[in-house]
């Protein structure tokens, strides 16, 4: 046993010596010494003996394993960024950082599990690498993000980087095949060139600038690309300041609901109102949702904003009831974030019970995107729960995104909301008029009345009436206005002498 241990220890020592990095220098010296001491005969013997010694001790396998381990080691993002930036600055070259976001990877994780999401990220990383040089690097920097570092070079002009971004987008947006179906991907890209940062820029600043460019691209919408610049940095700083101010506005009741009437096109009767979020900014005046929704979504405040809007809408409807106004329903937007909240139905039911408002008098606007895919179990359950509660469900955005008619047949949607884009050209184009007529016909066959939004002219109103549209809203009837202005309009429209005063508005918290 002792002899065996000694032999084993000796074998391991020989293996370690042969596989160590010192052999890179020792082997050539050993061959040279053999030639000097014994001439060609000893050199030949050395050349024949060393491979046999490697084979007997298993050092060939050990060396291969070490090489494999070295190949699997991934470079560090921050260190690589520092190295690239230093080389570029020292040699007068240009390096680039691209931050890439693919939000659909979140849906993959939720629907197919963490392992499928990991495999999808690996596949996407491989796709990105296929469009790059060997000297460039791709890093997975989050559940939905990738960081691409482009090695320094002399011809990395901004137009070249934009072209590179297009190639990377084309590679990444190839649909994923998951669960027997094809899943589309959308890509946003932020690019920061070392050339625009100045000589004293750090790697941390470089990565941060690319992130700022990506944030700007995401705010612009899916499929956008933005290049970092000093002007973009100022805009980003202003947007961050606005975000901080919005956080405070939620706590100081500066978020207000403005209301737009919904009209029966055939009779001109008021059938409801829709609530829109407005922010009373201390220096910029009233801001529309498009001014602040992008950073509200990214900062995680969609649930808070949605609750504020719901309570204000319900309070307004109760106040109009007290004033003797005949307003059947109030419509409130529900974001995809809110629809994913498992307790949404229970919370709404509790609020409605507390204020004594029947559920059928509240209509929720549902984004068409939640029905345009294979669906989400949580969202599907929430929609069914709201329908069982008695709330109406308007499908919002029809005309701006695709939606399978078969999905509409099996969803609890009660009305179709037609986007303003469907009204473009209906006064002059037979094709546009026929397209709108087709969609209205689909609604009729599914027993889903349509409400056209963004009706701006008397001519559009007349065409909608001729085509059989049931409801409409837009500037031709009234613009969105605050509670006081909306109450005056409703009172005049319904020929009531009594007007509502602010003190009559119930406060629901």
The answer on 289 and 170 residing in a single domain is no
Domain contains 243: no
The answer on 462 and 329 residing in a single domain is yes
The answer on 365 and 269 residing in a single domain is yes
Domain contains 52: yes
Domain contains 244: no
Neighbours of 284 (CB within 10 A): 11
CB 455 within 8 A of CB 475: yes
Domain contains 364: yes
CA dihedral 203, 205, 210, 214 (to 10 degrees): 140
The answer on 458 and 317 residing in a single domain is yes
The answer on 82 and 62 residing in a single domain is no
33, 57, 72: which is the final residue of a domain? Answer: 72
- pLDDT digits over 446-459, tens only? 889 999 999 999 99
The answer on 82 and 61 residing in a single domain is no
150: buried, middle or exposed (CB in 10 Å: 19+, 13-18, 0-12)?
Answer: buried
The answer on 354 and 401 residing in a single domain is yes
The answer on 87 and 58 residing in a single domain is no
11, 41, 72: which is the final residue of a domain? Answer: 72
Angle at 184 between CA 408 and CA 138, to 5 degrees: 155
* pLDDT value, residue 372: 58
Q: What is the CATH number of the domain that holds 324?
A: 3.20.20.450
Q: What is the CATH number of the domain that holds 195?
A: 3.30.70.270
What b/e string do you get for 370-394 counting C-beta neighbours within 10 Å, with b at 16 or more?
bbebeebeebbebbebbbeeebbbb
What does the pLDDT profile of the chain (509 residues) look like in tens digits? 333 334 444 455 555 555 544 454 556 666 666 666 666 666 667 666 766 565 555 544 434 333 333 334 467 899 999 999 999 988 889 999 999 999 889 888 888 888 999 999 999 999 999 999 999 999 999 899 999 999 998 877 888 889 999 999 999 999 998 878 888 899 999 999 998 887 788 999 999 999 989 988 887 778 899 998 878 777 777 777 777 777 777 765 788 999 999 999 989 999 999 999 998 888 888 888 877 877 777 677 888 899 999 999 999 999 999 999 999 999 999 998 899 888 999 999 999 999 899 999 999 999 887 875 545 678 888 999 999 999 999 998 776 555 566 677 778 999 999 988 888 888 888 888 898 888 888 888 888 999 999 999 999 999 999 988 899 999 999 999 999 999 999 999 887 544 444 333 444 44
With a threshold of 0.95, does the pTM exceed it?
no
Cα separations in angstroms, 162 against 150, 169, 211, 254, 389: 13, 10, 16, 41, 50
CA 84, CA 151: separation in Å to the nearest integer?
A: 6
The answer on 482 and 409 residing in a single domain is yes
CA 213, CA 236: separation in Å to the nearest integer?
A: 9
Tell me the residue range of the domain where 26 lies.
2-72
The answer on 148 and 107 residing in a single domain is yes
* pLDDT value, residue 78: 92
Domain contains 188: yes
228, 248, 275: which is the final residue of a domain? Answer: 228
The answer on 36 and 60 residing in a single domain is yes
Domain contains 12: yes
The answer on 223 and 324 residing in a single domain is no
- pLDDT digits over 462-480, tens only? 999 998 889 999 999 999 9
Domain contains 247: no
């Amino acid at each position: 046993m002792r002899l065996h241990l000694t032999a084993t220890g000796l074998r391991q020592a020989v293996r370690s010596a042969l596989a160590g990095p010192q052999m890179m220098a020792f082997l050539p010296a050993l061959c040279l010494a053999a030639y000097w001491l014994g001439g060609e005969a000893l050199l030949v013997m050395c050349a024949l003996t060393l491979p046999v010694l490697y084979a007997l001790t298993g050092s060939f396998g050990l060396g291969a394993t070490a090489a494999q381990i070295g190949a699997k080691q991934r470079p560090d993002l921050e260190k690589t960024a520092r190295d690239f930036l230093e080389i570029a600055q020292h040699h007068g070259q240009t390096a680039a950082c691209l931050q890439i976001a693919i939000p659909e990877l979140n849906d993959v994780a939720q629907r197919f599990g963490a392992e499928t999401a990991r495999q999808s990220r690996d596949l996407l990383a491989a796709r990105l690498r296929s469009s790059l040089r060997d000297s460039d690097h791709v890093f997975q920097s989050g559940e939905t993000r990738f960081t691409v570092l482009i090695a320094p070079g002399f011809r990395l002009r901004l137009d070249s980087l934009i072209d590179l971004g297009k190639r990377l987008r084309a590679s990444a947006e190839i649909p994923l095949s998951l669960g027997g179906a094809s899943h589309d991907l959308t890509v946003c890209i932020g690019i920061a060139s070392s050339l625009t940062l100045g000589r004293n820029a750090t790697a941390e600043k470089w990565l941060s600038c690319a992130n700022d460019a990506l944030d700007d691209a995401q705010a612009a919408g899916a499929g956008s690309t933005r290049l970092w610049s000093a002007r973009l940095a100022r805009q980003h700083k202003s947007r961050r300041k606005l975000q901080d101010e919005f956080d405070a506005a939620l706590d100081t009741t500066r978020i207000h609901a403005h209301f737009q009437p919904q009209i029966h096109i055939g009779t001109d009767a008021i059938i409801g109102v829709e609530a829109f979020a407005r922010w009373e900014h201390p220096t910029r005046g009233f801001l529309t949702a498009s001014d602040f929704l992008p950073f509200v979504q990214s900062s995680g405040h969609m649930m808070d904003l949605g609750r504020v809007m719901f309570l204000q809408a319900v309070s307004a409807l109760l106040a109009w009831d007290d004033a003797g106004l005949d307003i059947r329903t109030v419509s409130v937007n529900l974001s995809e974030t809110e629809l994913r909240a498992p307790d949404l139905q229970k919370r709404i039911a509790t609020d409605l019970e507390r204020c004594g408002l029947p559920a059928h008098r509240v209509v929720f606007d549902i984004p068409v995107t939640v029905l345009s895919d294979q669906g989400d179990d949580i969202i599907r359950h929430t929609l069914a729960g709201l329908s069982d509660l008695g709330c109406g469900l308007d499908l919002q955005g029809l005309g701006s995104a695709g939606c399978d008619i078969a999905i509409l047949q099996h969803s609890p949607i009660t009305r179709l909301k037609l986007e303003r884009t469907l009204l473009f050209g209906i006064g002059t184009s037979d094709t546009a008029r026929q397209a709108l007529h087709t969609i209205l016909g689909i609604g009729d066959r599914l027993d889903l009345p349509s409400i056209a939004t963004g009706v701006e002219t008397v001519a559009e109103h007349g065409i909608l009436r001729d085509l059989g549209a049931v409801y409409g809203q837009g500037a031709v009837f009234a613009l969105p206005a605050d509670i006081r202005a909306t109450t005056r309009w409703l009172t005049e429209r319904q020929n009531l002498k009594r007007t509502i005063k602010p003190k009559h508005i119930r406060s629901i918290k």
